[in-house]
Structure formats: structure tokens, C-alpha cells
């Protein structure tokens, strides 16, 4: 049974959503403010979060940013009455997998949830099996990098940074985009701090000569796995 955390301060809507989800086979926990909702969503057994944009105690967008930092693989769907395009863009930039405007169809919401849950399950299976970077094997969930002659334990931010770079292998990643993906908006952008993390990753990856973490002058970085020599 999939576990859902609903963070919604409108009681009548929350009752309807909880009832519909439970009938569809979900186990639902409802919280009505951002502070309690954030704590509930961080529980390891939670599979998906439905998050209202405007909440007491902690704004929904603040909750979303914190969830992205602490549980970046957890699917979060925003449920909000805000209709400005910039709000939808902001939600997606902060890590929401979808943005659903109120009023919405419960049937459509369930279909969207199930679609992202399937994708998350596939991603988790891939991560548990490890990502292959040439002769290296990277386990994001365990924060481990298996090299030919040793295993390196990565910090949370090192692991997340390497995961983001690998997901965009062959693409130029701007420095500020990398910072946002790893540190979020809670900490001001610091180019030199990012450079330190990149330097450490380069040293760890150096045992695989086909794997290059390139500096793109004035822009950012690109991870490239070249063909066998």
C-alpha cells in the first residue's frame, strides 16, 4: 500500500481527497500546516506528497525547497489555487514533479500520482543496482562510490552533486543550477564552495580516465564519459 502525506489547510477539500485516495488503495496522513507536514513528509516510509502552496506556519514553497534538499527523490505534487504562470514555474524549479491547480478532478490526480510513483520505483531500483560510470559504480542511496581497488563514502552533498552531474552526462550544467539542485535556496550561491566540491569529485573520479569532469569557462561544468580508448 502506497503511503501519501497530504499537506492541506482546507478541511473540506482535505476530507474529500483523503476519502478518495483511501478508496483507491492509498494510505493517507493529513497535516494542515507546513511545519507538521514537513516533519510527516520526511518519514522514510512516505512514497508521495501532495502539497498545498499556501499554508500556515511554513509556506508550501518553503516546504518544497526543504523536501528537495532532504529527500530529493520523493515525488511532490503541488495543489494550489495560485494561477500565475510564474508560480507553476517556481514550483517546478524547486523540484515538484507536477503542479495541479484547484479545483481539480480527483481521478486525474490519482492518475498523475500513479504515473510518478511508477517512475520513482524504477529510479529507486536503478539506484539500488548502482550507476555505472566506466569502471566505477555509484550508489546514490548509500552515498558510496565503488572504485577498482577501494570504496569511497561520499558526503550527502557530494553524492547529490555527482548524481545531478551524472543525470545530465554530456550536458553543460551552469554553476548556479548545480548549486540550486544541491544546496537549494536556503543558502546563498557561493561559487568557490561549489568549486571545492567539484575538485574533490575530480580526484575521486580520476581512476577512470574516460570520465572527465570538465570546466566550461564562464558557465559551469560538464561530466563526460568518452568511448573506450
User: Is the pLDDT assigned to residue 9 strictly greater than 80?
Assistant: yes
Report pLDDT for 154: 86
In a domain, 123, yes or no: no
Contact of 161 with 147, CB cutoff 8 Å: no
Quote the pTM value: 0.55
Do residue 139 and residue 98 come from a single domain?
no
Element (H, E) at 66: helix 60-70
In a domain, 94, yes or no: yes
88-132 pLDDT tens trace: 777 877 778 778 888 888 888 888 787 767 555 545 555 555 678
Greatest Cα pair distance in the chain: 63
CATH number where 163 lies: 1.10.10.10
Q: Which letter does DSSP use for residue 74 in this model?
A: S
Q: Tell me how far apart the alpha carbons of residues 154 and 132 are, in angstroms, rounded to a whole number.
A: 16
CA distances from 205 to 136, 210, 214, 217 (A): 8, 10, 12, 21
Least confident of 1-5, 171-175, 190-194, 205-209: 190-194
As a whole number, the mean pLDDT across the chain is 83
Question: DSSP secondary structure string, 121-161?
Answer: HHHHHHHHH-EEETTEEEETTTTEEE-SS-EEEPPHHHHHH
Radius of gyration over every alpha carbon of the chain, rounded to an integer in angstroms: 19
Do residue 135 and residue 112 come from a single domain?
no
Instruction: Tell me phi and psi for residue 132, to 5 degrees.
Output: -95, 125
Domain closes at, from 85, 118, 151: 118
In a domain, 138, yes or no: yes
Q: What is the domain extent for residue 168?
A: 131-225
In a domain, 125, yes or no: no
Domain closes at, from 87, 118, 149: 118
Contact of 214 with 221, CB cutoff 8 Å: yes
Amino acid at each position: 500500500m502506497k503511503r501519501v502525506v497530504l499537506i492541506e489547510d482546507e478541511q473540506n477539500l482535505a476530507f474529500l481527497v483523503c476519502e478518495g485516495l483511501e478508496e483507491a488503495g492509498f494510505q493517507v496522513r493529513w497535516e494542515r500546516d507546513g511545519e507538521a507536514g514537513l516533519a510527516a513528509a520526511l518519514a522514510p516510509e512516505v512514497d508521495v506528497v501532495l502539497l498545498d502552496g499556501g499554508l500556515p506556519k511554513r509556506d508550501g514553497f518553503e516546504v518544497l525547497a526543504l523536501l528537495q534538499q532532504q529527500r530529493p527523490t520523493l515525488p511532490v505534487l503541488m495543489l494550489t489555487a495560485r494561477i500565475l504562470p510564474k508560480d507553476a514555474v517556481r514550483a517546478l524549479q524547486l523540484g515538484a514533479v507536477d503542479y495541479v491547480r484547484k479545483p481539480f478532478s480527483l481521478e486525474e490526480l490519482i492518475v498523475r500520482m500513479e504515473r510518478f510513483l511508477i517512475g520513482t520505483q524504477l529510479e529507486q531500483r536503478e539506484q539500488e543496482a548502482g550507476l555505472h560510470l566506466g569502471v566505477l559504480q555509484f550508489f546514490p542511496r548509500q552515498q558510496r562510490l565503488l572504485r577498482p581497488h577501494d570504496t569511497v563514502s561520499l558526503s550527502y552533498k557530494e553524492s547529490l552533486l555527482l548524481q545531478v552531474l551524472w543525470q545530465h552526462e554530456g550536458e553543460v550544467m551552469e554553476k548556479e543550477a548545480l548549486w540550486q539542485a544541491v544546496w537549494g535556496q536556503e543558502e546563498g550561491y557561493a561559487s568557490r564552495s561549489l568549486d571545492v566540491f567539484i575538485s574533490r569529485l575530480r580526484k575521486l573520479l580520476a581512476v577512470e580516465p574516460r570520465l572527465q569532469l570538465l570546466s566550461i569557462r564562464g558557465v559551469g561544468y560538464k561530466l563526460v564519459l568518452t568511448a573506450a580508448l
